[in-house]
Amino acid sequence: MEKNQGSYSFRNLGSGLLFGMGLVAFIDEAVFHQILGWHHFYDKSTTAVGLFSDGLFHAFSWFATVASLFLLADLRRRNSLWIKRWINGVFLGAGFFQLYDGLVHHKLLELHQIRYHVDILPYDIVWNGVAVIILLVGVFLYMQTQKSKRAAKEGR
Amino acid sequence: MHSHVQAQGTSFEMIVALLLIAMVSLYPFAAIRTNRKYKEWPVYRYVFWVTGVFSIGVALTGPLAEFAHNNFKGHMVTHLLIGMLAPLLFVFATPMTLLLRTLKVTTARKVTRVLKSRLLQFLTNPVTATVLNIGGLYVLYTTDLYMLMHQSLVLYGLIHLHVFLAGYLFTLSIIYVDVTPHRYSYMYRASVLILAIAGHKILSKYIYANPPNGVPRTDAEAGSMLMYYGGDLIELAIIIFFCYQWYKSTAPRFTNSLYKT
């Protein structure tokens, strides 16, 4: 572990986190809205709260994608990029957003469903199952990087 | 749709055309004249200015303007041009900087006094600018104003003027390249920018479901998606430039090459 990495571990995590959120929102838009056409731009059951949350979700992820890449450049500029910690952030951010989209947007607020005119249950299980797995990988990586951070501190 | 006022071939179109011609000729005139005294005015700024004027011209005169009168999708294109693209181009053309270097020092001082005033501090606060910009759009599309706009030439002119000015105000309240006496932190501006983008997206989808009075459903759906994705593109440009400025301003004072040697 290089010496700058430890002092910028939070920024490494944060940049990855933002990128992960942006990545999921981008895949959601590109694959499920545009290519597959499963998601709908607007669903008749959409509530006002759902509309609000959806707008904020996309505005934030749009900004996060760009900001995370500039943060990445910043870490490189400071010789403090810690790639494992960054990827750790990506998994946490992606898993969290995927789960938020799957549970809050699709189920709680009924913004839109994953796909229409099909039995939705298997889709929901796969969607949220994938989210939980990504999130767990993120947690696992977090524990690992925390450990090597502590080890490096003690070694100094 | 029969009660529509025609803006084409009227005095309105003439006034717009004259104004735009004045804008497109005064800017280079001022820039070239002041080149003798100051640093040469960069070529790309002329390009930004002329393209900005051109986007307004296309939106308000000629065939697109006529199409926009009868079609909501066309209307959305003109709004993207007037309210988002032209303002962004104008901000990068830094007309205030040019004005200050054109005027006599004493007059320029008076202008800066106005720029520094409480009123302008209030107006250039990103929150005020967002309310004027996005809030104005909510009023336009969720009330009967949109329908009334096509029945009165005065209203048509005023609303488009508002859309442009509010868009310009909003863009310059987020991106600081021109003269900016009242400054707000990056974090503050980023938060407001995200909220403004969210407001734009929410309104687009709202229009999809609730077409403004007088707009057929299919037109509203197509126009709403144009507003959503077209807005995305211009917002992306704003975000990238904003983050780039943030990135530059936080450069470490000592470069790593200095550390290493």
CA-to-CA distance for A23 and B7, rounded, in angstroms?
A: 45
Query: What is the value of ipTM here, to two decimals?
Result: 0.84
Q: Write the pLDDT tens digit of every residue in B145-173.
A: 998 988 888 899 999 999 999 999 999 99
Domain ranges for chain A, please list them.
Answer: 12-150
Q: Which residues in A have their CB inside 8 Å of a CB on B?
A: 41-42, 44, 46, 51-52, 54-56, 58-60, 62-63, 66-67, 70, 73-74, 77-79
Q: What is the pLDDT of residue A125?
A: 83
Helices (H), B84-185: 86-92, 95-102, 105-115, 118-123, 126-130, 136-142, 145-149, 153-174
Handedness of CA B103, B20, B83, B55 (dihedral sign): negative
A46 with B198: Cβ contact below 8 A: no
Q: Write the pLDDT tens digit of every residue in B29-84.
A: 999 999 999 999 999 999 999 999 999 999 998 888 888 888 999 999 999 999 99
Share of chain B above pLDDT 70, in %: 93
Residue closest to B76 by CA, chosen among B225, B261, B254? B225
- Which of A42, A44, A45 would best serve as a mutation to test chain B binding (most B beta carbons within 10 A)? A42
Q: Model pTM?
A: 0.88
CA-to-CA distance for B166 and B87, rounded, in angstroms?
A: 9
A59 with B201: Cβ contact below 8 A: yes
Q: What is the pLDDT of residue B55?
A: 96
CA-to-CA distance for B205 and B27, rounded, in angstroms?
A: 39
pLDDT at B258 over 70: no
